[in-house]
Amino acid sequence: MDVFGLMASYDYGEVHFERDAATGLKAIIAIHDTRLGPALGGCRFLPYARDEDALVDALRLARGMTYKAALADLPHGGGKSVLIRPQNQHFDRAALFMAFGRFVDNLGGHYITAEDSGTGLEDMEIIRSVTKHVTGVDVSHGGSGDPSPFTALGVRRGIEACVKIRLGRASLEGIHVAVQGVGHVGYQLCKELAAEGAKISVADVDPLKAERATREFGATVVALEHIFETECDVLAPCALGSALNDHTIPRIRATIVAGAANNQLAEPRHGDDINARGILYAPDYAINAGGLVNVAAEVVGYDAEKSRERTMKIYDTIHEIAERSAKTLTPTYRVADLMVEEKLARVTRGSQPHL
């Protein structure tokens, strides 16, 4: 495995590895950029077929966190941790996450962790027992709890901006949204959409989760393999990454793609493919920043109302990206990248010593 080649391809400076034989911990912490502040990003706990797959996942996700934090005007860089779930189903989860917490603590605040796919509030509480460099902890300990509602709020606001730009509608009343994945964030997004009067279709690998959306929000269940070809106003990918690819993009029958998943484009060129089809794409790291905005507030002292106000501004960010895209005939993902790179370049220039 060409580790340094992979790091170069994602423009990296550092990656940290930890193995703890006693607990079965195999962890990677990828720190992409810290020009704006200490790296902040979630902890993913999933099985991986190969160690290389785990590394690539960490590299891609942490880079996205740099861009997400910059676009949301947060004083943080991008980082992400990936824990490879042991094949042995009888591992001691608490001991494993304590070992991971010590790994985080050894970095001295250079990286601050949070929950992500495969982890939750209970895991963050275990990590908190051995390091202060963790967010998303219980409200009784000064934390913000589950960030999913804030992520969903930001996505809903982003969808509203897209609907205004593309469909000329000021509300989501009667707008049909097809949600791929109704886990933590997807469920909360359905809740947000239902409150605004949207029509909802859902698909999930777990039929019980899809049925719950039907019971609580009146959603129509669609077979997972058909969600991309559902005729709707908005397609909202809310499962794992790479959902927008050579196979799915030609099948999309939506006017807008705006969802909560990270790394929705399998490759950057797929952003061009979506644009060529005349579909308005809300760049994932721009629209799904609500959770990061929320946990970042814990670092300075959590205030739920301020986090909500900041998350609501995702509407303005998506609106600006869409407008600049239309004016310059540039795909939205390129516009968002350019906005971030301009900001990071200013920080770099401002930090150079006077000669």
Give the residue numbers marked as catalytic: 80
Supply the DSSP symbol for 166: I
**Euclidean distance between CA atoms 107 and 242, whole angstroms:** 30
Supply the DSSP symbol for 165: I
Fill in the amino acid letter for 226: H
**What are 52's strand-pairing partners?**
none
**Euclidean distance between CA atoms 235 and 231, whole angstroms:** 9
Supply the DSSP symbol for 163: I
Q: Pick from 87, 111, 78, 81: which is nearest to 18 by CA?
A: 81
Q: How many CA atoms within 13 Å lie on the side-chain side of 301?
A: 0
**Euclidean distance between CA atoms 261 and 243, whole angstroms:** 9
Q: How many residues does the chain have?
A: 355
Nearest-5° angle of CA 325, CA 294, CA 259?
A: 40
**Euclidean distance between CA atoms 287 and 314, whole angstroms:** 6
Strands (E), the chain: 14-20, 25-33, 39-46, 77-84, 111-115, 176-180, 199-203, 220-221, 234-237, 256-257, 280-281
